[in-house]
Amino acid sequence: MGLAERRRTLGYSQEKLAELLGVDRTTVGRWESGRIAPQPYQRPGLADALGISLQDLEALLSLPQAADQGAAGQKASYHPSVGDADEMIRREFLRILTLSGALTALPFDEAEALADGVHKGNPADFARMNSHLWQVYQLARSKGSVQPVVRDQLDTLNEALAEGRRGTSLPLLNAAADLFQLAGEVAFDANRYTDAAASYALAASVSKEAGAHDLWACALVRHAYVEMAERRYRQAAEILGAAERVAVLGDGTLPTRHWVASVQAEAHAGLGDLTRCEQALARAEEVQHLTDNSTNGGWLRFDGTRLAEERGARYVQLGRLDLAEETLERALDQTVLASGHSYRRRAAVLVDLAVIGAKRRDPDQVVAYAREALDLAHASSSGYVARRLRTLCDELGALSRDRRVVGLGAEIAMLRTP
């Protein structure tokens, strides 16, 4: 009997077992396929969930897993032992990067050397590894797929910080602040707001300790998004005010202060303040005066390309529907499904256009735009897209007699998030 068969005997789905153990569903799938093995600290919980002893679990894991892979019958390419934790992390990281296409310009030998450098605590390699992880996150349709590697990277970085080698602490603190922000992004996309807020708070604290003002300001901006997701716009505005003050102390060649302004516009719109919203958007648009290489592709990606979408969304918040529709239709033409990140961008614009239809009591417009956004939600498994669609449901009351709209609302309510 293999791991998957034992799970099915107990009536567990992969999702249920993953929930019991506090891991991602894809992790359970990789255990069952033999691509990775549970780490030592995970095994007692897994044995308990499966109702077997640790010895029985070890014996079960030592069995070939090909039989559990269905008709495909693929053999596992890698099955590390208990003592291979570092090697498992390294190979898993390389596998995800390779599958995502983020290593297109990075030779495999160099990627292996990079992963090895991380596990030796090399600060420069940590920074480069984080950069590649952000690329993976942006390219991944399902953002939750990045979580296992981010978690392992954090564990390794914490070990390096604990050793406290002279001359490495400051670069490692910067790497930690960077990685905590990515961990927060993964949690936020999965609608785990408490985890996201905790990650952003850690990122802000570590950034402050390192004297990294741009990292610090960006962590505060991301924390403000958690408040706005719960419609606590006044609290978000206070956090963003702090971010604005910190950003002034940062690198003037970076767009940090412009990103702060862009998000301040959302908070002001949520508070119904058109004047301050417009002023914030004007400050954000000044990003166009910066050089083309002012973003780092990781924790700071604001380059102004989304400003049309942002402006349209703010007009929707403020009830300026004519201005919003014209702006959003232009923005929709600019969003293409070239990457996982574009799924989120296009879906956000589509939902805003559907909201306009709901406010105008136009069921045809609601269904046309929301249907495409729903398809993107299914394709990406994005908690962010699902969350945006659920905000649309709050606007559908006046259209409750239209069967198409009612059916659409039911489908949105059934959306599963990571």
What is the rounded CA–CA span in Å between residue 221 and residue 200?
A: 9
What is the rounded CA–CA span in Å between residue 408 and residue 418?
A: 21
What is the rounded CA–CA span in Å between residue 165 and residue 127?
A: 17
Say which residue, 95 or 25, is predicted with more confidence. 25
Residue 66 is predicted with a pLDDT of 39
In a domain, 224, yes or no: no
Do 62 and 90 belong together in one domain? no
Write out the residue range of the structural domain in which residue 23 sits.
3-72
Cα dihedral across residues 47, 51, 55, 58: positive or negative: negative
Indicate the Cα dihedral angle 297, 298, 302, 303, nearest 10°. -10
Q: Mapping DSSP to helix (H, G, I), strand (E, B) and coil, where does residue 61 land?
A: helix
Mean pLDDT, range 383-412, rounded to an integer: 87
On the question of pLDDT at 83 being above 80, the answer is: no
In a domain, 395, yes or no: yes
pLDDT digits (tens, 9 = 90+) for 132-189: 788 778 777 677 777 877 877 777 777 776 666 544 578 888 888 998 999 999 899 8
Q: Mapping DSSP to helix (H, G, I), strand (E, B) and coil, where does residue 84 land?
A: coil
Estimate to the nearest angstrom the gap between the alpha carbon of 324 and the chain centroid: 27
* Boundary-marking domain end, from 45, 72, 99: 72
Six token digits for residue 74:
């693929």
Do 115 and 207 belong together in one domain? yes
Q: Which residue has the tokens 């924790």?
A: 299
In a domain, 353, yes or no: yes
Among residues 309, 356, 298, which one has the least CA distance to residue 335?
A: 309
Where residue 297 falls (left for φ over 0; alpha for ψ -120 to 50; beta otherwise) is left
Q: Which residue has the tokens 């301040």?
A: 264
What is the rounded CA–CA span in Å between residue 410 and residue 386?
A: 13
CA atoms within 13 A on the CB side of 349: 24
On the question of pLDDT at 65 being above 50, the answer is: no
Q: Which residue has the tokens 């956004």?
A: 373
Residue 104 has what DSSP assignment?
T
- Give the pTM: 0.66
Where residue 186 falls (left for φ over 0; alpha for ψ -120 to 50; beta otherwise) is alpha
CATH number at 58 reads 1.10.260.40
pLDDT digits (tens, 9 = 90+) for 39-59: 776 788 888 888 888 878 887
Specify the DSSP element, H or E, that contains 343: helix 340-359
* Boundary-marking domain end, from 183, 211, 239: 211
* Boundary-marking domain end, from 211, 232, 249: 211
What is the rounded CA–CA span in Å between residue 258 and residue 379?
A: 32
Annotate 221-232 with DSSP letters as a single string. Answer: HHHHHHHHHTT-
In a domain, 182, yes or no: yes
What is the rounded CA–CA span in Å between residue 319 and residue 257?
A: 27
SS3 of 139-186: the string is HCCCHHHHHHHHHHHHHHHHHHHHHCCCCCHHHHHHHHHHHHHHHHHH
At 387, the pLDDT band (50, 70, 90 cuts) reads confident
- 112-115: long-range contacts at Cβ-Cβ below 8 A with a sequence spacing of 24 or more? 115/89, 115/90
What is the rounded CA–CA span in Å between residue 334 and residue 311?
A: 14
Among residues 198, 99, 192, 185, which one has the least CA distance to residue 150?
A: 185
Do 66 and 92 belong together in one domain? no
How many domains are there within the chain?
3
Do 143 and 179 belong together in one domain? yes
What is the rounded CA–CA span in Å between residue 241 and residue 302?
A: 18
At 73, the pLDDT band (50, 70, 90 cuts) reads very low
CATH number at 110 reads 1.25.40
Q: Mapping DSSP to helix (H, G, I), strand (E, B) and coil, where does residue 242 land?
A: helix
Residues making up the chain, counted from first to last = 418
On the question of pLDDT at 97 being above 70, the answer is: no
CA atoms within 13 A on the CB side of 26: 12
pLDDT digits (tens, 9 = 90+) for 340-367: 447 788 888 999 999 999 999 999 999 9
What is the rounded CA–CA span in Å between residue 392 and residue 386?
A: 10
CB atoms near residue 233 (< 10 Å):
20
CATH number at 372 reads 1.20.120
